[in-house]
Amino acid sequence: MATNCARCCGCPSGTSACGPCAHAILGDDLGVYRERDGEPVHDFTGVDRFYDEVMALGLRPVVELAIMPRDLARHPDKTVCGYHAVISPPEDWDRWQALIRDLTAHLVERYGLDTSGAPIDFVAAHVFGTAPLDLRPILARHGREDLKLW
């Protein structure tokens, strides 16, 4: 986890989008995604434990969905960093979409979605496999049109 905004998500220090990034929140250590008998199983208790601890310190975590769970990866042997983060695209994009949909719904249900200061920062989310997005309309909708992302 990086706490320095410039190293983490590149946002300028002091903006509302800054916070600690958990780069491997979907990695296997937290057990978010497993396949049992060929069926996906989602378990967000490890994510909850991590985000609860970060927020107890008064920090606002940035949701980062950049690392692929090994059971979902097309090429689970493609890794980086000392913790062997899987950087492969998903084997099944529908299962990837379901995982992200379920995690997002879970985080919103657990922590809420208050655009003026949600405890979890969805605006600064980084998602695996997404094309570059023009975030200006989303930022404007949330009253953050002047936010510098890079």
Domain ranges across the chain: 5-141
pLDDT of amino acid 38: 92
Asked if the model's pLDDT at residue 10 lies above 70, the reply is: no
Q: How far apart are CA 150 and CA 87, in angstroms?
A: 23
Asked if the model's pLDDT at residue 32 lies above 90, the reply is: yes
Burial class from Cβ neighbours inside 10 Å (0-12, 13-18, 19+) for residue 130 reads exposed
pLDDT of amino acid 57: 85
Of residues 139 and 33, which shows the higher confidence score?
33
- The mean pLDDT value of the chain amounts to 74
Asked if the model's pLDDT at residue 16 lies above 60, the reply is: no
pLDDT of amino acid 111: 81
39-73, pLDDT tens digit by residue?
Answer: 999 999 999 998 888 888 887 777 777 788 999 99
The CATH number of domain 5-141 is 1.20.1250.20: no
Of residues 19 and 84, which shows the higher confidence score?
84
Asked if the model's pLDDT at residue 102 lies above 90, the reply is: yes
Task: Give how far the C-alpha of residue 128 lies from the chain's centroid of Cα atoms, to the nearest Å.
Answer: 9
109-119, pLDDT tens digit by residue?
Answer: 888 775 445 55
Asked if the model's pLDDT at residue 101 lies above 50, the reply is: yes
Q: What are phi and psi of 62, to 5 degrees?
A: -95, 125
Instruction: Please tell me the number of Cα atoms within 13 Å of 68 on its side-chain side.
Output: 24
